[in-house]
């Protein structure tokens, strides 16, 4: 009998107690196991002018161009040489069914205004790393409008609010490094937390990618904060590794044997 991986994940959650189900406390204990960072990524509590996500936990995840690496970019945005240092954070693989509702929240923070169009994105990736969908984009612009990002692929997620600008005070935020509290060219600031919802199109295994890039130069850093990530109201359950899946099946088999033995014992006692 073939047991679908998502069924194994659900069974694992039952066996482990799944005490946090229904809560979007993704980063309260740091970056989850299996998440992969290129560049500069981390978690933070309320920090400077960046507050916690309204529906998130006591810490949120972030990526920043401060400490970013070369070669990071969103395909289709300008020439490759225009995307300087950047960072990405990819989640572990998770299983989803067509029609499942994916929710998350994000906040774009920039110290680089004017024509220095730093940008950020959230993508849904297939198991092989290919793009399933661009979910949301953000980009610094001379007029302050940031979400959706201009000159970027259209985002497939429904956003609340649907349009946001970088505004407010000059951002103070530790992930920006030495640029925290600075502004190269106005407007600088943050969009504030934006809610996003996307309906999974087809059953499969996926990962989420959060990215940010410094445009044209290495100066004046930008970053993206994110949290409150759920799939149909539950935290993203990692796809079990083959060995873990085999152990889980063995554990479920032992549970079945024990149940049958108890049933046989009860039947014998009644005779």
Q: Transcribe 28-84 into DSSP letters.
A: TTSSPTT-EEESEEEEESSBTTB---TTS-S-EEEEESTT-BTT---TTSS-GGGEE
Give the pLDDT score at 9.
40
φ, ψ of residue 76 in degrees (nearest 5):
95, -5
CATH architecture of the domain covering 22-239: Sandwich (2.60)
Give the pLDDT score at 12.
37
* 202 membership: H or E segment, kind and range: none
Give the pLDDT score at 242.
66
Give the pLDDT score at 233.
96
Give the pLDDT means over successive 10-residue stretches in the chain (271 positions): 37 35 78 98 98 97 97 89 91 98 98 88 99 97 89 97 93 97 92 98 98 90 98 96 48 49 51 54
Give the pLDDT score at 107.
99
* 131 membership: H or E segment, kind and range: strand 131-139
Close Cβ partners of 239 (under 8 Å, ≥ 6 residues apart): 5, 9, 92, 93, 94, 95, 205
Give the pLDDT score at 55.
93
pTM of the model: 0.82
* 241 membership: H or E segment, kind and range: none
What's the CA gap between 168 and 189, in Å, rounded? 5
Give the pLDDT score at 99.
99
Give the start-to-end residue ranges of the domains of the chain: 22-239, 240-271
Give the pLDDT score at 24.
75
Q: End-to-end distance of the chain based on CA atoms, in angstroms?
A: 34
Give the pLDDT score at 247.
41
Give the pLDDT score at 256.
53
* 113 membership: H or E segment, kind and range: none
φ, ψ of residue 122 in degrees (nearest 5):
-130, 125
């Amino acid at each position: 009998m073939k047991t679908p991986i998502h069924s194994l994940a659900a069974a694992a959650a039952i066996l482990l107690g799944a005490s946090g189900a229904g809560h979007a406390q993704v980063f309260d204990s740091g970056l989850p196991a299996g998440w992969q960072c290129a560049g500069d990524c981390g978690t933070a509590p309320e920090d400077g002018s960046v507050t916690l996500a309204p529906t998130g936990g006591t810490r949120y995840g972030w990526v920043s161009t401060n400490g970013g690496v070369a070669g990071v970019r969103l395909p289709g945005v300008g020439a490759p040489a225009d995307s300087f240092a950047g960072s990405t954070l990819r989640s572990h693989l998770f299983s989803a069914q067509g029609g499942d509702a994916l929710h998350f929240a994000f906040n774009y923070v920039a110290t680089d205004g004017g024509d220095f169009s730093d940008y950020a994105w959230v993508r849904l990736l297939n198991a092989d790393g290919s793009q399933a969908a661009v979910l949301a984009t953000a980009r610094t612009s001379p007029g302050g409008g940031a979400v959706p990002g201009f000159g970027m692929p259209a985002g497939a997620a429904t956003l609340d609010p649907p349009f946001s600008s970088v505004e407010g005070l000059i951002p103070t935020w530790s992930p920006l490094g030495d640029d925290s509290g600075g502004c190269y060219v106005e407007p600088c600031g943050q969009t504030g937390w934006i809610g996003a919802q996307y309906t999974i199109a087809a059953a499969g295994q996926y990962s989420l990618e959060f990215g940010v890039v410094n445009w044209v130069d290495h100066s004046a850093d930008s970053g993206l904060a994110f949290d409150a990530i759920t799939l149909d109201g539950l935290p993203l359950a990692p796809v079990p590794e083959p060995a873990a899946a085999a152990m889980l099946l063995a554990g479920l088999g032992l549970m079945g044997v024990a149940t049958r033995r108890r049933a046989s014992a009860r039947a014998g006692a009644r005779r």
